[in-house]
Structure 1
Amino acid sequence: MALSKKGSRRITVDGLEYRWRIRRKPSYMQGLCWIPLTYAVEAASGSQSGTILIVTSGQAHPSNWVSVETEPVHPGHVASGIREARDQGWDPTRGGSPFQLDRSAGFIAQP
């Protein structure tokens, strides 16, 4: 499954081009700050879609419903997540199930 081009941003990491996207509306659990923000990354080049990287961040979704303050996700955060996932074995050119990268250490769910 490929990312929608609408709303996605491009980033180049170590000479390879990727697209990344944060879901505009939070899921129910993200809206209540029970689970952290996630974003998706895929290789931008090539006609064949590969494995998508799903990064679970350590912060709340910016559009949460309980007014928890958040920091924006900067391209530097995305780049470091891509590098960490590549170090853990993510190959964005090979097909398969989404690769999960959990960076949520320190996230405190709201009651």
Structure 2
Amino acid sequence: MAVGRKGSRRIVVDGTAYRWRLRRRPTYFQALSWTPCKFAVEHADAPGATLVVTTNQPHPSNWFGREAKPVQPSGVARAIQLALREGWIPTTPGVPFHLDQSAGFTLSP
């Protein structure tokens, strides 16, 4: 699974360049606020295993107007640093590395 260049943003964390992307349109379950927002990250120059981060926020474009904080570069940088500490090797090909930060996510009422 690769992060497409179109719509992705570049971020530099500890001197290494990455690309990250949030789905513009939510999945059906994200739109209903049943599942939290996710974003993907990969190494910018030598893509390998993709990092998939599950946040504890609903998708910003959910259908019910449920308040959601935007995914900011500072949050992406923290997720990248945590994933690296937990064993993500972004330049080695392999299955996606999942980082679950969904603690505290609640379903829509």
TM range (shorter): over 0.9
How large is the Cα RMSD of the aligned pairs? 0.8
Query: Which string of whole-angstrom CA distances, capped at 9 and with x for unpartnered residues, describes residues 4-54 of structure 1?
Result: 1000000000010000000001001100000100000000013xx300000
Q: For the residues of structure 2 that align with 1:2 and 1:103, how far apart are their CA atoms?
A: 21
- What is the percentage of aligned positions where both structures have the same residue? 54
Query: Which string of whole-angstrom CA distances, capped at 9 and with x for unpartnered residues, describes residues 90-110 of structure 1?
Result: 000001110000001101011
The AA in structure 1 aligned to 2:85 is: D
Report the alpha carbon displacement of residue 3 of structure 1 after superposing the two structures with TM: 1.1
Instruction: Choose which of 78, 97, 101 in structure 2 pairs with 1:80.
Output: 78
Unpaired stretches in structure 2, ≥5 consecutive residues: none
Match of residue 108 from structure 2: 110
Query: Which string of whole-angstrom CA distances, capped at 9 and with x for unpartnered residues, describes residues 36-91 of structure 1?
Result: 00000000013xx3000000001000000111011111100000000000010000
Match of residue 5 from structure 2: 5
Q: For the residues of structure 1 that align with 2:2 and 2:23, how far apart are their CA atoms?
A: 14
Match of residue 97 from structure 2: 99
Q: For the residues of structure 2 that align with 1:30 and 1:107, how far apart are their CA atoms?
A: 12
Deviating runs (4+, > 2 A) in structure 1?
none
Question: Residues 1-111 of structure 1: matches in 2 within 5 Å?
Answer: 1-46=1-46, 49-111=47-109
SS in 1 for 2:83: helix
So what's the TM-score if we normalise by structure 1?
0.95
Q: For the residues of structure 1 that align with 2:75 and 2:89, how far apart are their CA atoms?
A: 19
Report the alpha carbon displacement of residue 2 of structure 1 after superposing the two structures with TM: 1.8
